[in-house]
Amino acid sequence: MPNFKQITFVSLVMLTALMAVACTTISQPTTPTPENTPSPTVAPTLENTPLPQVLSTTPPTMKGHIDVNGYKLAYQCFGEGSPTVIVEAALFDQPTVAMTWKQVTERVQTVTRICIYNRAEVRTSQDIAQNLHMLLSRIPLPGPYILVGHSIGGYHVRVFAHLYPQEVAGMVLVDTTYPDPMKEFLKAYPTYTPNELPALTSDRATMVAPTPTVNVIAGDFDVAASTEQVIQAGSLGDLPLIVISQHPDPTPWMSPGFSSEDAERLSTAWQNLQADLATLSSKGVFMTAKYSGHYIPVEEPQIIIDALTQMVKEIRSQ
Protein backbone atom coordinates (compact mmCIF):
# COMPACT_ATOMS: atom_id res chain seq x y z
CA MET A 1 0.00 0.00 0.00
CA PRO A 2 1.62 3.28 -0.99
CA ASN A 3 2.05 5.88 1.72
CA PHE A 4 1.15 9.52 1.24
CA LYS A 5 4.67 10.48 0.24
CA GLN A 6 4.55 7.93 -2.56
CA ILE A 7 1.22 9.26 -3.77
CA THR A 8 2.67 12.75 -3.84
CA PHE A 9 5.70 11.61 -5.78
CA VAL A 10 3.37 9.89 -8.21
CA SER A 11 1.54 13.12 -8.84
CA LEU A 12 4.76 15.11 -9.04
CA VAL A 13 6.33 12.58 -11.32
CA MET A 14 3.26 12.58 -13.47
CA LEU A 15 3.43 16.37 -13.60
CA THR A 16 6.88 16.14 -15.10
CA ALA A 17 5.79 12.95 -16.78
CA LEU A 18 7.06 10.12 -14.68
CA MET A 19 4.87 7.46 -13.25
CA ALA A 20 2.48 6.74 -10.44
CA VAL A 21 2.80 4.07 -7.80
CA ALA A 22 0.48 1.17 -7.42
CA CYS A 23 1.76 -1.36 -4.92
CA THR A 24 -0.96 -4.00 -4.92
CA THR A 25 0.00 -7.42 -3.59
CA ILE A 26 -0.49 -10.51 -5.74
CA SER A 27 -3.20 -12.60 -4.16
CA GLN A 28 -4.62 -14.65 -7.03
CA PRO A 29 -3.31 -18.24 -7.15
CA THR A 30 -4.14 -18.46 -10.83
CA THR A 31 -4.40 -16.03 -13.74
CA PRO A 32 -8.00 -15.76 -14.90
CA THR A 33 -8.92 -14.41 -18.31
CA PRO A 34 -9.52 -10.68 -17.82
CA GLU A 35 -12.61 -8.85 -19.01
CA ASN A 36 -11.28 -6.44 -21.58
CA THR A 37 -14.01 -3.89 -21.22
CA PRO A 38 -13.85 -0.58 -23.06
CA SER A 39 -13.65 2.37 -20.67
CA PRO A 40 -12.15 5.85 -20.31
CA THR A 41 -8.42 6.60 -20.55
CA VAL A 42 -4.89 7.18 -19.23
CA ALA A 43 -1.98 7.31 -16.68
CA PRO A 44 1.68 6.78 -15.62
CA THR A 45 3.69 5.33 -12.77
CA LEU A 46 6.88 5.29 -10.70
CA GLU A 47 8.08 2.14 -9.01
CA ASN A 48 9.95 2.60 -5.76
CA THR A 49 9.09 -0.84 -4.41
CA PRO A 50 11.13 -4.03 -4.92
CA LEU A 51 10.31 -5.90 -8.11
CA PRO A 52 9.12 -9.47 -7.77
CA GLN A 53 11.86 -11.99 -8.47
CA VAL A 54 10.67 -14.81 -10.72
CA LEU A 55 12.88 -17.51 -12.16
CA SER A 56 12.54 -18.34 -15.83
CA THR A 57 11.69 -21.90 -16.79
CA THR A 58 11.97 -21.48 -20.55
CA PRO A 59 15.44 -20.81 -22.03
CA PRO A 60 15.61 -18.00 -24.58
CA THR A 61 16.17 -18.85 -28.23
CA MET A 62 18.56 -15.87 -28.50
CA LYS A 63 20.47 -14.06 -25.78
CA GLY A 64 23.64 -12.07 -25.21
CA HIS A 65 25.26 -8.78 -24.28
CA ILE A 66 25.97 -6.14 -26.90
CA ASP A 67 28.00 -2.96 -26.52
CA VAL A 68 25.89 0.09 -27.33
CA ASN A 69 27.45 3.51 -26.79
CA GLY A 70 29.66 2.17 -24.03
CA TYR A 71 26.95 0.16 -22.27
CA LYS A 72 26.66 -3.62 -22.25
CA LEU A 73 22.99 -4.25 -22.93
CA ALA A 74 21.72 -7.73 -22.01
CA TYR A 75 18.91 -9.12 -24.12
CA GLN A 76 16.86 -12.31 -24.41
CA CYS A 77 14.52 -13.34 -27.22
CA PHE A 78 11.99 -16.16 -27.11
CA GLY A 79 10.26 -17.92 -30.00
CA GLU A 80 10.30 -17.17 -33.72
CA GLY A 81 8.19 -15.23 -36.18
CA SER A 82 7.23 -11.74 -37.23
CA PRO A 83 6.34 -9.14 -36.14
CA THR A 84 8.78 -9.26 -33.22
CA VAL A 85 7.52 -7.99 -29.86
CA ILE A 86 9.97 -5.70 -28.04
CA VAL A 87 9.38 -4.96 -24.35
CA GLU A 88 10.32 -1.67 -22.67
CA ALA A 89 9.98 -2.43 -18.97
CA ALA A 90 9.15 -0.17 -16.02
CA LEU A 91 11.57 2.14 -14.23
CA PHE A 92 14.40 0.24 -12.52
CA ASP A 93 13.11 -3.09 -13.92
CA GLN A 94 15.85 -5.30 -15.36
CA PRO A 95 13.62 -7.96 -16.93
CA THR A 96 16.37 -10.42 -17.92
CA VAL A 97 17.27 -10.62 -14.22
CA ALA A 98 13.97 -10.13 -12.40
CA MET A 99 12.02 -11.93 -15.16
CA THR A 100 8.95 -9.82 -14.44
CA TRP A 101 7.86 -10.62 -18.01
CA LYS A 102 8.36 -14.38 -17.64
CA GLN A 103 4.70 -15.39 -18.00
CA VAL A 104 4.17 -13.10 -20.98
CA THR A 105 7.27 -14.30 -22.84
CA GLU A 106 6.46 -17.96 -22.23
CA ARG A 107 3.00 -17.62 -23.78
CA VAL A 108 3.66 -15.08 -26.54
CA GLN A 109 6.65 -17.07 -27.86
CA THR A 110 4.17 -19.67 -29.10
CA VAL A 111 2.71 -16.97 -31.37
CA THR A 112 5.73 -14.89 -32.41
CA ARG A 113 9.18 -13.81 -31.28
CA ILE A 114 9.29 -11.65 -28.13
CA CYS A 115 12.38 -9.92 -26.72
CA ILE A 116 13.24 -8.31 -23.40
CA TYR A 117 16.35 -6.30 -22.55
CA ASN A 118 17.94 -4.26 -19.76
CA ARG A 119 18.19 -0.53 -20.46
CA ALA A 120 21.26 1.57 -19.83
CA GLU A 121 20.99 4.43 -17.33
CA VAL A 122 20.92 7.27 -19.84
CA ARG A 123 19.36 10.71 -19.63
CA THR A 124 16.27 10.77 -21.80
CA SER A 125 13.68 8.68 -23.62
CA GLN A 126 15.29 9.64 -26.92
CA ASP A 127 18.64 8.27 -25.72
CA ILE A 128 16.90 5.04 -24.71
CA ALA A 129 15.06 4.77 -28.04
CA GLN A 130 18.25 5.33 -30.02
CA ASN A 131 20.15 2.78 -27.93
CA LEU A 132 17.39 0.23 -28.45
CA HIS A 133 17.44 0.85 -32.19
CA MET A 134 21.19 0.27 -32.26
CA LEU A 135 20.85 -2.88 -30.14
CA LEU A 136 18.26 -4.34 -32.53
CA SER A 137 20.47 -3.59 -35.52
CA ARG A 138 23.46 -5.28 -33.91
CA ILE A 139 21.75 -8.46 -32.74
CA PRO A 140 20.62 -8.25 -35.63
CA LEU A 141 16.85 -8.34 -35.30
CA PRO A 142 14.98 -6.68 -38.17
CA GLY A 143 11.49 -5.23 -37.86
CA PRO A 144 8.66 -4.73 -38.01
CA TYR A 145 8.21 -4.52 -34.24
CA ILE A 146 5.30 -4.45 -31.86
CA LEU A 147 6.49 -2.21 -29.04
CA VAL A 148 5.25 -2.87 -25.50
CA GLY A 149 5.81 -0.16 -22.91
CA HIS A 150 5.11 -0.64 -19.21
CA SER A 151 4.95 2.40 -16.92
CA ILE A 152 7.74 4.84 -17.94
CA GLY A 153 8.54 2.39 -20.75
CA GLY A 154 5.56 3.92 -22.51
CA TYR A 155 7.57 7.10 -22.95
CA HIS A 156 10.41 5.25 -24.63
CA VAL A 157 8.29 3.30 -27.11
CA ARG A 158 6.38 6.41 -28.14
CA VAL A 159 9.63 8.24 -28.89
CA PHE A 160 10.98 5.15 -30.71
CA ALA A 161 7.87 5.08 -32.92
CA HIS A 162 8.36 8.77 -33.68
CA LEU A 163 12.03 8.31 -34.63
CA TYR A 164 11.60 5.07 -36.60
CA PRO A 165 7.96 4.93 -37.75
CA GLN A 166 8.63 2.55 -40.65
CA GLU A 167 9.90 -0.09 -38.22
CA VAL A 168 6.89 -0.11 -35.89
CA ALA A 169 3.87 -2.27 -36.74
CA GLY A 170 1.92 -1.82 -33.50
CA MET A 171 2.07 -0.72 -29.87
CA VAL A 172 0.76 -1.89 -26.50
CA LEU A 173 0.90 0.55 -23.57
CA VAL A 174 0.62 -1.10 -20.14
CA ASP A 175 -0.41 1.29 -17.34
CA THR A 176 2.00 3.84 -18.71
CA THR A 177 3.18 7.30 -17.79
CA TYR A 178 1.11 10.18 -19.12
CA PRO A 179 2.69 13.56 -19.85
CA ASP A 180 1.66 16.28 -17.42
CA PRO A 181 -1.45 14.93 -15.66
CA MET A 182 -0.81 17.37 -12.83
CA LYS A 183 -4.13 19.19 -12.99
CA GLU A 184 -6.12 15.96 -12.84
CA PHE A 185 -4.36 14.90 -9.67
CA LEU A 186 -4.45 18.28 -7.97
CA LYS A 187 -8.23 18.21 -8.30
CA ALA A 188 -8.25 14.95 -6.37
CA TYR A 189 -6.36 16.32 -3.39
CA PRO A 190 -8.34 17.32 -0.29
CA THR A 191 -9.06 21.02 0.18
CA TYR A 192 -6.69 22.65 2.65
CA THR A 193 -7.78 22.79 6.29
CA PRO A 194 -5.84 24.20 9.27
CA ASN A 195 -6.06 20.86 11.07
CA GLU A 196 -4.80 18.66 8.26
CA LEU A 197 -1.72 16.45 8.59
CA PRO A 198 1.56 18.37 8.06
CA ALA A 199 2.63 15.79 5.47
CA LEU A 200 -0.44 16.57 3.39
CA THR A 201 0.25 20.32 3.53
CA SER A 202 3.90 19.82 2.61
CA ASP A 203 3.22 17.41 -0.22
CA ARG A 204 0.52 19.59 -1.73
CA ALA A 205 3.02 22.47 -1.80
CA THR A 206 5.60 20.22 -3.43
CA MET A 207 3.17 19.35 -6.19
CA VAL A 208 2.21 22.96 -6.80
CA ALA A 209 5.86 24.03 -6.99
CA PRO A 210 7.72 20.90 -8.14
CA THR A 211 11.46 20.74 -7.64
CA PRO A 212 14.30 18.57 -9.01
CA THR A 213 13.42 16.11 -6.22
CA VAL A 214 11.69 14.03 -8.84
CA ASN A 215 15.02 13.36 -10.54
CA VAL A 216 16.28 11.81 -7.33
CA ILE A 217 13.46 9.30 -7.58
CA ALA A 218 14.22 8.65 -11.21
CA GLY A 219 17.99 8.39 -10.86
CA ASP A 220 19.78 10.06 -13.77
CA PHE A 221 16.68 10.04 -15.94
CA ASP A 222 15.67 13.55 -17.05
CA VAL A 223 11.91 13.53 -16.63
CA ALA A 224 11.24 17.03 -17.92
CA ALA A 225 13.29 16.61 -21.11
CA SER A 226 11.78 13.19 -21.79
CA THR A 227 8.27 14.53 -21.27
CA GLU A 228 8.92 17.19 -23.87
CA GLN A 229 10.23 14.53 -26.28
CA VAL A 230 7.05 12.49 -25.82
CA ILE A 231 4.86 15.55 -26.37
CA GLN A 232 6.81 16.40 -29.52
CA ALA A 233 6.37 12.83 -30.77
CA GLY A 234 2.67 13.57 -31.13
CA SER A 235 0.01 11.12 -32.22
CA LEU A 236 0.45 7.61 -33.60
CA GLY A 237 -1.78 8.15 -36.64
CA ASP A 238 -3.48 4.87 -37.53
CA LEU A 239 -0.94 2.59 -35.81
CA PRO A 240 -2.59 -0.43 -34.15
CA LEU A 241 -2.64 0.49 -30.46
CA ILE A 242 -3.92 -1.21 -27.31
CA VAL A 243 -3.83 0.59 -23.95
CA ILE A 244 -4.15 -1.49 -20.80
CA SER A 245 -4.81 0.08 -17.41
CA GLN A 246 -4.72 -1.40 -13.93
CA HIS A 247 -8.02 -2.23 -12.27
CA PRO A 248 -9.87 0.96 -11.20
CA ASP A 249 -9.75 0.13 -7.48
CA PRO A 250 -9.40 3.24 -5.28
CA THR A 251 -8.09 1.22 -2.30
CA PRO A 252 -4.35 1.53 -3.19
CA TRP A 253 -4.75 5.31 -3.24
CA MET A 254 -5.87 5.46 0.39
CA SER A 255 -3.30 7.22 2.59
CA PRO A 256 -3.15 9.41 5.73
CA GLY A 257 -5.13 12.56 5.07
CA PHE A 258 -7.16 10.98 2.28
CA SER A 259 -10.84 10.11 2.47
CA SER A 260 -12.40 7.35 0.44
CA GLU A 261 -13.77 10.06 -1.86
CA ASP A 262 -10.26 11.46 -2.40
CA ALA A 263 -8.94 8.01 -3.28
CA GLU A 264 -11.85 7.51 -5.65
CA ARG A 265 -11.02 10.76 -7.44
CA LEU A 266 -7.36 9.78 -7.78
CA SER A 267 -8.30 6.38 -9.17
CA THR A 268 -10.74 7.96 -11.62
CA ALA A 269 -8.14 10.50 -12.74
CA TRP A 270 -5.68 7.66 -13.40
CA GLN A 271 -8.24 5.77 -15.47
CA ASN A 272 -9.23 8.85 -17.44
CA LEU A 273 -5.61 9.58 -18.30
CA GLN A 274 -5.01 5.98 -19.39
CA ALA A 275 -8.11 6.02 -21.56
CA ASP A 276 -6.95 9.20 -23.20
CA LEU A 277 -3.80 7.43 -24.36
CA ALA A 278 -5.96 5.24 -26.57
CA THR A 279 -6.88 8.34 -28.57
CA LEU A 280 -3.26 8.62 -29.74
CA SER A 281 -4.26 6.38 -32.66
CA SER A 282 -7.40 6.16 -34.77
CA LYS A 283 -7.12 2.41 -34.13
CA GLY A 284 -6.68 2.75 -30.37
CA VAL A 285 -8.40 0.29 -28.02
CA PHE A 286 -8.66 0.71 -24.24
CA MET A 287 -8.80 -2.17 -21.75
CA THR A 288 -8.80 -2.45 -17.98
CA ALA A 289 -7.36 -5.29 -15.93
CA LYS A 290 -9.80 -7.39 -13.93
CA TYR A 291 -7.91 -7.25 -10.63
CA SER A 292 -4.27 -6.22 -11.18
CA GLY A 293 -2.51 -3.21 -9.78
CA HIS A 294 0.35 -1.50 -11.60
CA TYR A 295 2.44 -4.67 -12.08
CA ILE A 296 0.14 -6.15 -14.70
CA PRO A 297 2.90 -8.29 -16.33
CA VAL A 298 3.24 -10.15 -13.01
CA GLU A 299 -0.22 -9.92 -11.48
CA GLU A 300 -2.42 -10.34 -14.56
CA PRO A 301 -0.26 -11.25 -17.56
CA GLN A 302 -3.09 -12.85 -19.50
CA ILE A 303 -4.55 -9.51 -20.55
CA ILE A 304 -1.20 -8.57 -22.13
CA ILE A 305 -0.89 -12.01 -23.75
CA ASP A 306 -4.39 -11.67 -25.21
CA ALA A 307 -3.68 -8.16 -26.50
CA LEU A 308 -0.42 -9.20 -28.18
CA THR A 309 -1.96 -12.33 -29.70
CA GLN A 310 -4.80 -10.26 -31.12
CA MET A 311 -2.44 -7.62 -32.50
CA VAL A 312 -0.10 -10.16 -34.13
CA LYS A 313 -3.03 -11.80 -35.91
CA GLU A 314 -4.36 -8.46 -37.14
CA ILE A 315 -0.99 -7.32 -38.45
CA ARG A 316 -0.36 -10.63 -40.22
CA SER A 317 -3.76 -10.47 -41.89
CA GLN A 318 -3.07 -7.07 -43.46
pLDDT band at 289 (very low <50, low <70, confident <90, very high): very high
Residue 283 has pLDDT above 90, yes or no: yes
Instruction: Quote the pLDDT of residue 221.
Output: 85
pLDDT digits (tens, 9 = 90+) for 124-163: 999 999 999 999 999 999 999 999 999 999 999 999 999 9
Instruction: Quote the pLDDT of residue 185.
Output: 63
Greater confidence (177 vs 155) lies with 155
Considering the entire predicted model, what is its pTM? 0.78
Q: Alpha-carbon Rg of the chain, whole angstroms?
A: 19
Instruction: Quote the pLDDT of residue 152.
Output: 93
Instruction: Quote the pLDDT of residue 75.
Output: 97
Angle between helices 125-138 and 153-163 (to 10 degrees): 70
Average pLDDT over residues 301-312: 97
- Taking CB atoms within 8 Å and a gap of at least 24, the contacts of 185-194 are 185/10, 185/11, 185/14, 185/15, 185/266, 185/269, 186/11, 187/265, 187/269, 188/262, 188/265, 188/266, 188/268, 188/269, 189/11, 189/262, 190/257, 190/258, 190/259, 190/262
Average pLDDT over residues 281-292: 96
